[in-house]
Structure 1
Amino acid sequence: MPFAPGVPCWFDVTAPDIPATADFYRGLFDWTAENTGPDSGHYTVLKQDGAQVAGIASTTNPDGSTKPAVWLPYFAVENAPATAAAAQGAGATVFVEPTDVFGQLEFGILADPDGAAYGICHLKSHPGTERWGAVGNPCWVEYSATGAPADSMAHYAKVLGWTYRNAAWETATVNPYQALSVGAGDEFGGAHTAQPGEPAPFWAMTIHVTDADETAARAVRLGGSVVQEPQDLPGPSRVGVLADPAGATFGVMAFGG
């Protein structure tokens, strides 16, 4: 298993027009796109220099119903059915039962007790997101909570073995920001209390870029939009929130400065 249990290992975005969405991300991050064909519903794999980054799935379900355009993180597990059962026992709802995909992986989609969707994935021969943290690749996941972030993260501690703690820079005593890791491992994400008007509860994916402001401007030129202008945050880093033309939101993060 290439990823430690509990860490982010794959991401995909749902889209009403897969080719158009692939074109947007190609223009924004220089990703290439590989359509895997009709047997997979034309699931399209996004790559950087041949290394897998993420995927695009249709917003249209096999039964003809539709789902919104969103990015979804998947967290590595060793046994998807057992994890789904444990999650249910911890208050989760199972949206998609653990499903094998051509022997390459087994995934499920759940909602935590607050209603935020997240994926679990047992990677077999599938490599997952091959360049986590590199420029042009996912580098962080962020949870927007409706209340105290620590309360929401308790579910993931039970199910995925996470550790959550007040971030090193945090000074707030009410609903402090939570830094996420598995045990003493590297931090891979955070959780905060959502601001008014911010979608919540909600998981977001963030891409490492060299220039957050330039990336935001390019996204607009390509038909996307800026949800939150890039701003300086502790780290140090500069972070913005963008949306693709279908409305799926994602973060961009530039380090240093």
Structure 2
Amino acid sequence: MAGMPIWYELMTADPLSVAPFYRATLKWEIGPGEAMPNGVTYGMIGRADGGHAGGALTLSPAMRDSGARPGWLPYFHVGDVDAAAAEAQELGGSVQMPPVSMDGVGRMAMLADPQGAPFYVMAPTPPAGQPDAQSDVFDPQKAGHCRWNELNTRDAAGALAFYTALFDWTPGMAMPMGEAGDYRFIEHEGLAIGAVNPVRAGPSHWLPVFGVEEIQAAKAAAEANGGIVTQDLQEIPGGEFALGVTDPGGAALAFVGPKRGA
């Protein structure tokens, strides 16, 4: 299961100020933050079906002064966090936060790939009485879940080599993107979980693509609640549409879903 996305974390300066945006677009509720053992404030993000979509970490002034910025980060499952951190360094990546254990949560570390895109690796602790519990925050079909994980990077070949060595990923279908190169799907045990997207400018970063019930309604709700459209409606293979936005706090994300009447 190494490499399966199992959690998503929103880093934002003020979770309460972005809560209406996520309530309107994805029917999520960002819970009140609680102080964690490491000193950060963390709130759970609840889906309309009662499950969790991820968590919201409040960026403190000290964190922002140290360079932390609003954004979404994925967590990928590994069996051994310490070994994964060491291997990432051997492959040219870096450790942004050394491995740490949290009671009832698991062991985790924040890493960055050779191009600088940050992400977490985690060996989660199953809930009490549910030793076989599996994360459902990623689902390639359902609204309210993350449906796609897109790595925007200036070195697609280098990034693909890094992640396929670190995780149980295999390269999938390639879609030519002109001079930028190929948009290459990434698969985990035969399931397409995202893609490596070649870009020519800007920092490398992971972009979560969350499912919505109707893409035009999501666009209207985003704009009405302080969001900014960064990439307008674009049809994707299969007949659905994608939309790139930033939330009111400055975190980038994308939506995918059907178009009314399509």
| Shared fold, TM over 0.5 | yes
Is 1:86 aligned to residue 92 of structure 2?
Answer: no
CA deviations over 1:198-227 (Å, ceiling 9, x no partner): x33111000011222221121110111111
Residues 35, 42 of structure 1: 8 Å contact kept = no
Query: AA paired with 1:226?
Result: V
In 2: Cα distance, 1:192 partner to 1:46 partner: 27
Q: Does 1:137 align with 2:145?
A: yes
What is the aligned partner in structure 1 of residue 130 from structure 2?
none
> What's the counterpart of residue 198 of structure 2?
193
Give distance in 1, aligned partners of 2:178 and 2:237: 14
User: Which residue of structure 2 aligns with residue 228 of structure 1?
Assistant: 231
Please, which of 155, 160, 167 is the counterpart of residue 162 of structure 2? Answer: 155
Contact 2:2 2:78 in 1 (8 A): yes
Aligned pair in 2 of structure 1 residues 146, 39: CA closer, same or farther (>3 Å)?
Answer: closer
Normalised TM-score (structure 1): 0.88
Residue in 2 aligned with 1:113?
114
- Once residues 60 and 223 of structure 1 are traced to their aligned partners in structure 2, the CA distance between those partners, rounded to angstroms, is 22
For residue 47 of structure 1, what is the aligned residue in structure 2? 46
CA contact (8 A) 1:28 1:219 kept: yes
Listed as ranges, the gaps of 5+ residues in structure 1 are none
Displacement of 1:86 in angstroms is: 0.7
User: What's 2:185 paired with?
Assistant: 179
Aligned-partner SS, 1:122: strand
The structural deviation recorded for 1:37 is 1.7
Asked if 1:243 is matched to 2:246, the reply is: yes
The answer (yes or no) to whether the contact 2:240–2:258 under 8 Å persists in 1 is yes
Q: Percent identity?
A: 24
Residue 59 of structure 2 aligns to which amino acid in structure 1?
T
Letter in 2 for 1:186: L
> How does the TM-score come out when normalised to structure 2?
0.86
Alignment partner of 1:35: what SS?
coil
Q: What is the letter of the counterpart of residue 42 of structure 1? A: T
Bigger drift between 129-138 and 155-164 goes to 129-138
Q: What are the superposed Cα offsets for residues 76-99 of structure 1, whole Å, 9 maximum, x if unpaired? A: 111111111111111111001112
CA displacement at 1:61 relative to structure 2: 6.8
8 Å contact from structure 2 (residues 25, 218) kept in 1: yes
**Number of the residue aligned with 1:22:** 19
Q: After the TM superposition, which residues 93-112 of structure 1 pair with which residues of structure 2 at under 5 Å, given as runs?
A: 93-112=94-113
Alpha-carbon offset, residue 23 of structure 1 = 3.1
Question: Which residue in the other structure is 2:131 paired with?
Answer: none
Q: 1:105, CA displacement in angstroms?
A: 1.9
Q: Residue 11 of structure 1 contacts residue 129 of structure 1 at CA under 8 Å; is this kept in 2?
A: no
| 2:209 maps to amino acid | T
Cα distance, 1:174 vs structure 2: 7.1
Question: AA paired with 2:187?
Answer: S
User: What is residue 206 of structure 1 aligned with on the other side?
Assistant: 209
Amino acid at match of 2:50: G
Equivalenced residues, count? 249
Partner Cα separation in structure 2 for residue 194 and residue 173 of structure 1: 10
Residues 14-73 of structure 1: CA distance to partner in whole angstroms, max 9, x if unpaired? 111122223321232111232352235330111113201111101227777451000111
- How far apart, in 2, do the equivalents of 1:15 and 1:173 lie? 34
1:230-257 Cα deviation digits (max 9, x unpaired): 1112233210101110110101011585
Quote how far apart the aligned CAs of 1:129 are: 4.2
- DSSP 3-state at the match of 1:177: strand
Aligned-partner Cα distance in 1 for 2:35–2:118? 26
